Chains A and B, each alone.
Chain A
Amino acid sequence: SQELEQSPQSLIVQEGKNLTINCTSSKTLYGLYWYKQKYGEGLIFLMMLQKGGEEKSHEKITAKLDEKKQQSSLHITASQPSHAGIYLCGADASSRLTFGEGTQLTVNP
């Protein structure tokens, strides 16, 4: 079965700083999803990547999928308190999503 490992598990940054979250798969990724979750709430869809080398951006968040399609990164530029939450990567695996354990992001004003 496909396993996703996220790093770091938690991250505390000062407002305005840039940060990167990584997601590494044990198998080739055919669809990689990034979601954000506020504690105890639903998942907010951020981006979906499919092709090797693909990069997508939305506001101050950029996600990339490497050429070998086994690793993805999520980069936040000039972080704000509104970026705080849990970031989850999910992989499309046989018509179901497998998720990493999540990265807890805290942004201090």
Chain B
Amino acid sequence: KAGVTQTPRYLIKTRGQQVTLSCSPISGHRSVSWYQQTPGQGLQFLFEYFSETQRNKGNFPGRFSGRQFSNSRSEMNVSTLELGDSALYLCASSRTGTAYNEQFFGPGTRLTVL
């Protein structure tokens, strides 16, 4: 069974640009969550999608958005990039969500904002 895949693995952008990251969950998993990992803040929850609906959202500005498609693949978009958005972005998939469900993470997308 294929694991969670994320594309691209690395991205370099400049301030003010926008970026879209993609996550394909494990087959049969309907929940996709996104996390931002930085040395200073650690792992922080961005949002969770289930059956194409955003079910939960963390404390991030509106520049961070996402969506989920009917095949459960998810995309995350960051507009008007800032230097502080440089981070490792991780997505996790599970069958129905975090409640007592195992969450499996992808390899991450390393975003560098110059």
Name A residues whose Cβ lies closer than 8 Å to a Cβ of B. Answer: 30-31, 33, 35, 40-45, 48, 50, 88, 90, 92, 94-102
User: Which A residues are CB-close (under 8 A) to B48?
Assistant: 95-96
Q: For the complex, what is the distance from the CA of A30 to the CA of B101, rounded to whole Å?
A: 11
Q: For the complex, what is the distance from the CA of A30 to the CA of B98, rounded to whole Å?
A: 11
Number of A-B contacts (CB under 8 A): 61
Main secondary structure of the interface of B (DSSP, over half): strand
The contact of B100 among A45, A50, A98, by CB within 8 Å, is A50
Between-chain CB contacts (< 8 Å), 12 pairs = A30-B100, A31-B99, A40-B110, A42-B105, A95-B48, A95-B98, A96-B33, A96-B58, A97-B33, A97-B35, A97-B43, A97-B98
Q: For the complex, what is the distance from the CA of A4 to the CA of B45, rounded to whole Å?
A: 14
Is residue B55 contacting chain A, with contact meaning CB distance below 8 A?
A: yes
The contact of B104 among A45, A92, A98, by CB within 8 Å, is A45
In the A-B complex, the 9 residue pairs with the smallest Cβ-Cβ separation, listed nearest first, are A43-B105, A99-B43, A42-B107, A96-B45, A42-B105, A95-B56, A92-B98, A42-B108, A95-B98
Check B90 against A99 for contact (C-beta < 8 Å). Answer: no
